Chains A and B, each alone.
Chain A
């Protein structure tokens, strides 16, 4: 595929004797909105951790934007354009919201060859990103002053501050109300319109179905379906995994 952004081949990960992932093949095209679903313990977050460099896969290869990622540590992958948000928000508690955004701007964007944002440009970009997620009025506050949905938005803004080409949103809507889920989906759609390829890892099926242009399903560390959302959820194996025999 000419516009392939990420290509995963035969990826495997074990924790001792437990096989968390086995033989995962996955291709993601530029600009795509991929929904990654599966029951609890199916290996979704482990896959994201392997792709982002938090965990090391024992087998298989990962090629991102034409570059093999094997052996590359997490911050190097981030600088290459692979960003993620965490299932449980992990803000920098001691810093203001602005400083939370400054960290990726200083350490990712400014670390890329040929890029150097001045202090003024960084301040402007921080404001822009916080405005994008409706947090501009709380820019000087600490994360402890935020609500759950605002914390999720900060998490996304910090990931987007790395100027990624591929963003993994790991359960960005967990624990949110219906209206808050819609807010997050709107933010993700805007990011996708700006050219960021997004992988949404989520349990909330209405959100996944309304957001995704493609669906991949993991069960017990294996990919059992991959295709258009409406077709993938009707796959007999997926129905069995979710609804039982």
Chain B
């Protein structure tokens, strides 16, 4: 399918999904649970741009996600700050603007991190990204303006744009972000950039010898991946209404964003989407039926099973069956 057609299809699917949800679903819990699944579609797709397409394992999802969330918290407090410091009155910053700003800041963080760490390979790169998460969390814990380790309360605006409640608005925005991230991932996959990233993943020396500017491409991947993760984190303060470092840097974000593409399949855009829907839904069901404490256990068990039984994920499993069928 051509890229432009694919974009049209996923935008149509996204709009239809939101319209049908609004028409037929009245229980707010669906929107709360759906938001989390959609958020994981964005996070796992973003992770896959660097981890799956390029072969660089990033354990710093929490850092990029939280930077997006905290940039929104800062923008939320901005009118109050300007008023008290300069007696300036501005309108509250709209959430879509916060999402763009969160994406820009996290993208810049991705670029900087990439520039400092992309000369490292394999496990050393993974450790560096884990360290990034700890460094950013330490900075936030010691930043009083955003509540430090106590956290910060965020009061949602009284009115939600597009009608309905605020959670429905957040659900709509996260659907739009999912469409955007999946569209970007699919566009990369079939492009010159995607071929270059795959060459880096397969063999970096051979890629360089084939003329691929490996450092530049890896920087593009870290920037795009970081930006999408930041965008996914930007609406978080309005979702949780209380933002603290412990929850926004939660290990679950890093673990899930690695596990979902691994379980779904890392070489195609559909893999992270399948993984996020599957794992995200199971986790939400476990949360209401048993306990949220089981979530990481479920991820761990599934991850071990898939690494042993289907190392190329569900997509790889299906491709294998199709090849056998063809033979």
Instruction: Mark A residues whose CB is within 8 Å of B.
Output: 52-54, 73-75, 78-79, 83-84, 86, 90-95, 99, 102-104, 106-108, 111, 158-159, 161-162
Contacts and interface: CB of A to CB of B under 8 A. Distances in A.
Interface in B196-242: 196, 198-199, 201-203, 205-214
Given A94-B198, A95-B198, A106-B192, A162 B211 contact: yes
A79 B209 CA distance: 9
A83 B207 contact: no
Contact of B203 (A74, A92, A99): A92
Interface residues of B, number: 19
Contact of B196 (A86, A90, A91, A103): A103
A84 B209 CA distance: 7
Given A75-B213, A92-B199, A95-B202, A103 B208 contact: no
Contacts of A93: 202-203
A103 B207 contact: yes
Nearest to B212: A107
Contacts of B214: 75
A162 B267 CA distance: 26
B195 interface: yes
Interface string B266-293: 0100000000000000000000000000
5 contacts: A53-B208, A54-B208, A75-B211, A93-B202, A93-B203
B198 A78 contact: no
B203 A52 contact: no
A83 B206 CA distance: 11
A74 B209 CA distance: 6
A161 B206 CA distance: 13
A104 B203 CA distance: 13
Nearest to B217: A107
4 tightest Cβ-Cβ pairs between the two chains A and B: A108-B211, A90-B206, A107-B211, A92-B202
A103 B209 contact: no
Contacts of A91: 202-203, 206
A102 B195 contact: yes
A91 B210 CA distance: 11
A86 B205 contact: yes
A110 to B, nearest CB: 8
Nearest to B211: A108
B205 A90 contact: yes
Contact of B211 (A79, A86, A94): A79
A91 B202 CA distance: 8
Given A75-B211, A102-B195, A107-B213, A94 B202 contact: yes
B211 A111 contact: yes
Interface in B146-174: none
Contact of B210 (A73, A94, A103): A103
A75 B208 contact: yes
Nearest to B216: A75
A112 to B, nearest CB: 9
Q: Which residue of A74, A83, A111 has the most chain B CB atoms within 10 A of its CB atom? A: A74
Nearest to B55: A94
A53 B214 CA distance: 13
Contacts of A53: 208
Nearest to B196: A107
Contacts of B195: 95, 99, 102-103, 106
A74 B213 CA distance: 9
Contact of A104 (B192, B210, B213): B210
Contact of A83 (B192, B199, B209): B209
B202 A86 contact: no
Contacts of A79: 211
Given A73-B208, A75-B212, 9 more contacts: A75-B211, A94-B267, A95-B198, A103-B207, A103-B210, A107-B211, A107-B212, A158-B206, A162-B210
A107 B210 contact: yes
A39 to B, nearest CB: 24
Contacts of A75: 208-214
A108 B201 CA distance: 18
Contacts of B267: 94
A106 B206 CA distance: 14
Nearest to B214: A75
Contacts of B207: 92, 103
Contacts of A73: 208
A191 to B, nearest CB: 17
B201 A103 contact: no
Contacts of B192: 106-107
A54 B210 contact: no
Nearest to B208: A74
B271 to A, nearest CB: 13
Nearest to B203: A90
B212 to A, nearest CB: 5
A53 B192 CA distance: 23
A192 to B, nearest CB: 20
A237 to B, nearest CB: 32
A78 B211 contact: yes
Contacts of B205: 54, 74, 86, 90
A104 B212 CA distance: 7
